Amino acid sequence: MDQNTYVVIMAGGIGSRFWPFSRTNYPKQFHDVLGIGESMLQMTANRFKNICPPENIFVVTNKDYESLVKEQLPQLKDNQILLEPIGRNTAPCIAYASYKISQLNPDANLVVTPSDHVVLKEDVFTNVITEAVEAAAKDDVLITLGITPSRPDTGYGYIQYIDDPSQNLKKVKTFTEKPNLELAQMFLDSGEFVWNSGIFIWNAQSIIRAFRQYLPEISEVFEEGSTSFNTLSEKDFISNAYSHCGNISIDYGIMEKVDNVYVLLSDIGWSDLGTWKSLYTISQKDENQNVVDGQAILYDTKDCIIKTPKNRLVVAQGLEDYIIAEYDNVLMICKKDEEQKVKEFMADAKASKGANYI
């Protein structure tokens, strides 16, 4: 196990596409989404048990979720929980972790991962991450894991790469964020594109150099904190620093611009679990292709996903391709093929009924 390997888990999102199950005060990364006795955050942290020491795992989250992180990952010390005062997308989040960890260990190699993804082939995942870390430690490269697409999904970003059969690491040619269906089908047919997993691997100094070159306004903010990181003054510094950071993703701010970005093709049983349909796809189904997490009596119902509290009984008749989801004070019934409207439902619920429903 490499003492220079650090894991940064990004756990600050709200997961609005998973409403009403994912809520502002209890986002999906803290839920046992798969019904296996572990939250998404716990699954993510446990995925790295053979990759780095437990003291090298850091979680970046919103300050409002501090108690949830501590409850679910009690092994983490306070210095391993990075609290964002406000959400500013992935670039400031990654900058914060990179500068903080590089101050602890200038030779650190970072694995940056979302907290709410599924990886079914964990042994393969361990091998893939180990290979990527070794490459990042040796060369000045920024690496992302690429997933071979199985369908023309419009919810994922796509990476076009230059295929060199002699190299496992492929030079990235282009990034495309969430194409329309026609373009996604073209990508799939070409065989030159993979899904962007959003899992990144790089040396801390490599990503800091990239921030200095492509996002200097962010790097200047965090470089001012060089004497504050890992001290009692860090919290006050970060509270002020975030107010000077723009809302920008690491993909748009850096990955789409640098010339040293590579993709490692990975068959790890991955899903970003970003939507109800993605949960349906990876879940075990009954003889009528229904996914049921809860209690249900179903008649003439097929291809549905039902996720409700265990103390509620759902009786449904004549449904096909529907989502039935209940959590706390909201019950949602929606056509599975129209799940893109979930964010609209959430916004309308807030506008007409109040924030208590989101």
- Read off the pLDDT band of 211 (50, 70, 90): very high
| Residues 331-355, mean pLDDT to the nearest whole number | 95
| Residues 65-82, mean pLDDT to the nearest whole number | 98
Within 225-341, residue ranges assigned H as helices are: 234-241, 250, 276-282
pLDDT value at 1 more than 80 = no
| Residues 167-188, mean pLDDT to the nearest whole number | 90
pLDDT confidence of residue 162: 93
Q: Are the C-beta atoms of residues 146 and 266 closer than 8 Å to each other?
A: yes
The residue among 77 and 156 whose pLDDT is bigger is: 77
Percent of the chain residues topping a pLDDT of 90? 86
- In angstroms, rounded to a whole number, what is the distance separating the alpha carbons of residues 157 and 100? 28
Give strand pairing partners of 316: 298
Element (H, E) at 175: strand 169-176
pLDDT confidence of residue 292: 96
Residue with tokens 């490459």: 135
pLDDT confidence of residue 166: 81
Q: Are the C-beta atoms of residues 169 and 141 closer than 8 Å to each other?
A: yes
Summary mean pLDDT of the chain: 94
pLDDT confidence of residue 15: 85
> Per the omega criterion (within 30 degrees of 0), is the bond before 20 cis?
yes
pLDDT value at 30 more than 90 = yes
pLDDT value at 295 more than 80 = yes
Give the CA distances from residue 300 to residues 277, 308, 322, 336, in Å, rounded to whole numbers and listed in that order.
Answer: 20, 19, 13, 17
- Read off the pLDDT band of 14 (50, 70, 90): confident
| Residues 250-277, mean pLDDT to the nearest whole number | 93
| Residues 228-251, mean pLDDT to the nearest whole number | 95
Give the CA distances from residue 139 to residues 125, 133, 193, 242, 301, in Å, rounded to whole numbers and listed in that order.
Answer: 21, 10, 24, 31, 54
Q: Which residues contact 228 (CB under 8 A, 6 or more apart)?
A: 234, 236, 237
Task: Return the beta strands (E) in 216-276 as ranges.
Answer: 261-266, 270-271
